[in-house]
């Protein structure tokens, strides 16, 4: 089963190219260790929420941009082996020392993929991402609702929908996925995204999705608290 390492970061907006260069070097190490796909997406249409949002999640300042990223592995065992290999790489100390962002506020966690619909990764490159972090309750209920929603997104121009279920999601001392969604007892963090071929198609597609009758009459139980769901639009900065 595909396994995801998901990340949220606050990067100084003026250092976008520095971040891309840093991420490119890191991606080379990750792929050498067995990563199958790496995507870095730069905040573009990220709304401020009343209770939770991406900015609060990483304590972003006015001069920072939120980054939504993930690394995909064939399975959890491959991910665990890769983590050991990467941390032991001789280049790693220099890479950590040159981080163009505040690593103390970086959020990370491990997730098992439960929904993956659309073309195989790489068949149709994504240019734009809608990212979501969700406080989910019942895995079966959430998965069923996610499959139904994915069909709507794909009908309106999305090229891929992925949902992943938290398995190794630390709280962290400064920031973390549980704090980001105000996680409650009995809940698990879900990390998901929708891929689009362009921002224009995404903008038209999202409008069509929200107007679709299938989204107007959702199931009584969708498996999560929508008031604490975090969402936003991100332009793909790097895909390897």
- List phi, psi (to 5°) of 45: -135, 70
The pTM of this model reads 0.95
Is the pLDDT reported for residue 121 higher than 70? Answer: no
Give the pLDDT confidence score for residue 220 in this predicted structure: 57
What pLDDT score was predicted for residue 124? 75
| 3-class secondary-structure state, position 46 | coil
Domain residue ranges of the chain, discontinuous segments joined by +: 3-239
For the residues 113-120, what does the mean pLDDT come to? Answer: 88
User: What's the rounded mean pLDDT across residues 63-70?
Assistant: 98
118-132, 176-190, 204-218: least confidently modelled range: 118-132
CATH topology of domain 3-239: Alpha-Beta Plaits (3.30.70)
User: Under 8 Å CB-to-CB from 149, ≥6 apart: which residues?
Assistant: 161, 215
60: β partners: none
Residue with tokens 């969700």: 134
Instruction: Please check whether residue 33 is in contact with residue 81, taking contact to mean a CB–CB distance below 8 angstroms.
Output: yes
| pLDDT at res. 9 | 98
DSSP secondary structure string for all residues of 130-159? EEEEEEE--HHHHHHHHHHHHHHHHHTT-S
């Amino acid at each position: 089963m595909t396994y995801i390492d998901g990340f949220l970061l606050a990067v100084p907006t003026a250092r976008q190219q520095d971040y891309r260069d840093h991420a490119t070097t890191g991606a080379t190490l990750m792929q050498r260790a067995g990563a199958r796909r790496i995507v870095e997406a730069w905040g573009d249409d990220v709304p401020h929420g009343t209770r939770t949002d991406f900015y609060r999640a990483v304590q972003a300042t006015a001069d920072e941009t939120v980054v939504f990223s993930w690394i995909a592995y064939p399975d959890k065992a491959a991910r665990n082996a890769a983590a050991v290999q990467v941390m032991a790489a001789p280049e790693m100390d220099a890479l950590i020392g040159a981080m163009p962002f505040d690593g103390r506020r970086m959020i990370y966690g491990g997730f098992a993929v439960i929904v993956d619909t659309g073309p195989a990764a790489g068949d149709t490159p994504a240019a734009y991402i809608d990212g979501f972090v969700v406080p989910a309750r019942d895995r079966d209920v959430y998965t069923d609702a996610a499959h139904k929603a994915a069909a709507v997104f794909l009908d309106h121009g999305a090229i891929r929908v992925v949902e992943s279920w938290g398995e190794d999601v630390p709280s962290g001392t400064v920031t973390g996925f549980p704090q980001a969604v105000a996680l409650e007892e009995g809940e698990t963090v879900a990390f998901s995204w929708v891929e689009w071929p362009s921002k224009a198609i995404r903008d038209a597609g999202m409008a069509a999705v929200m107007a679709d009758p299938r989204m107007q009459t959702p199931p009584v139980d969708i498996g999560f608290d929508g008031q604490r769901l975090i969402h936003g639009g991100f332009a793909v900065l790097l895909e390897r």
